[in-house]
Amino acid sequence: MREQLPDFPWDALLPFGEIARAHVGGIIDLSQGTPVDPTPEFIQKAFRDASNSPSYPVTAGTPELRAAIKKWAIQRLGASGDFDVLPLIGSKELVAWLPTILESEKVLIPQIAYPTYHVGALIAQAESIRVDIDARQWPEADLAWLNSPSNPTGRVHSIDEVKAAIAWARGNDAVLICDECYVEFDHTATSFSILSQTGGDNKNILAVHSLSKRSSMAGYRAAFIIGDSMLIARIRELRKHAGMMVALPVQKAMTVALSDDSHVIQQRARYNQRRELLRPALEAVGFRIEFSNSGLYLWCTRDEDAWTSVEWLAQRGILATPGSFYGASGARYIRLAMTATDAQIIDAISRLKA
């Protein structure tokens, strides 16, 4: 299997990191979507308070965490009908292992997508097929990924697009999973959960969520899945055998994080403000911004090879990600993450102006 896995994409970016680091003002790294704003203090406190943790945590999650996820799913996401929940060690874990757990043979992934969807299919030795957004054109398969708002483009699916994907899943008796880890970061497009569109019939439908970005908890490894109770029972059963339990202090921190929205509203405002500051500065130097109306990123192009744009920015000390990391159709785009401090974003703008 090792031979089939692609080279880790970020390794190819290392030389451009060196160029950016050599800038007199130092590097402004907008290449990774790794949060830099502090984890809210009340979440840190819940984690610290649970640090005396001699016993094993249970895979299914504490009753308090399960209740908090269910409440959030109903109130925030509009979930209804029968559904179950399961905490995860980060959503990347599920993305990488779901096709293996479900023994999928054909996996549909978006044309431009977070690379781990493809990697997950490779690990399962499944065929991964890139598809356009319109699910009415999708081929038969046993698993399909949606990602809305999207990494890297920030595009939000329309209700009709999500409904077409649900109809595809029902017609093919296939599993449809929506990666919604940016759902809290609306901007000019309103994002919503797939769970609000099932009419309470969640058979074969899953949504995966993460607190990495929502609550700046990427270092905790805290995520969860919501949806079809039978599928979640299957996933839980395998994870019980495989030892993938979420640490108890992390479960406690997740419980309090989900019970508060005010820190999410503040974080959303921070990301949106950074994006709105950076957008005109990029446009002024010839970049065209596409989508980027939700989520964490700016997806842009100067109608040139992505590596040319990456190098141009690196010479100004700004590190961007080439769109080719996300699929061949991203080869003339770059992605910039709003995961830098406000001061760094202001600095990036003055470097672009200079």
Ligand X SMILES: Cc1ncc(COP(=O)(O)O)c(C=O)c1O
What per-residue string of b and e applies to 111-125 under the rule 16 or more CB within 10 Å gives b?
Answer: ebbbbbbbbbbbbbe
d(CA 123, CA 90): 18
Positions 202 through 221 that interact with ligand X (CB under 6 A): 210, 212, 218
The stretch among 39-47, 84-92, 262-270, 343-351 that binds ligand X (CB under 6 A) is 84-92
Q: Name which of 8 and 280 has its Cβ closer to ligand X.
A: 8
Residue 131: strand pairing partners: 110
Nearest CA-CA partner of 259 in 83, 89, 65, 77: 65
Q: Name which of 176 and 218 has its Cβ closer to ligand X.
A: 218
The stretch among 64-72, 86-94, 135-143, 325-333 that binds ligand X (CB under 6 A) is 86-94
d(CA 201, CA 128): 27
Could you say whether residue 168 binds ligand X (CB under 6 A)? no
Could you say whether residue 69 binds ligand X (CB under 6 A)? no
Among 66, 92, 239, 275, binds ligand X (CB under 6 A): 92
Q: Name which of 320 and 352 has its Cβ closer to ligand X.
A: 320
The stretch among 1-9, 85-93, 238-246, 305-313 that binds ligand X (CB under 6 A) is 85-93
Task: Write the interaction track for ligand X spanning residues 8-47; mark x where CB under 6 A is met and - where it is not.
Answer: -------------------------x--------------
Q: What amino acid occupies position 241?
A: H
Could you say whether residue 327 binds ligand X (CB under 6 A)? no
Closest CB 249 distance from ligand X, rounded Å? 17
Closest CB 353 distance from ligand X, rounded Å? 29
SS3 for 334? strand
d(CA 80, CA 207): 13
Positions 119 through 148 that interact with ligand X (CB under 6 A): 147
Strands (E), the chain: 28-29, 84-88, 106-110, 127-131, 143-147, 175-179, 205-210, 223-227, 288-290, 297-301, 318-319, 321-322, 334-337
Residue 109: strand pairing partners: 130
**Residue keyed to tokens 């308090």:** 64
Among 109, 223, 310, 352, binds ligand X (CB under 6 A): 223
List contacts with ligand X (CB under 6 A): 33, 90-92, 95, 114, 147, 151, 179, 181, 210, 212, 218, 223
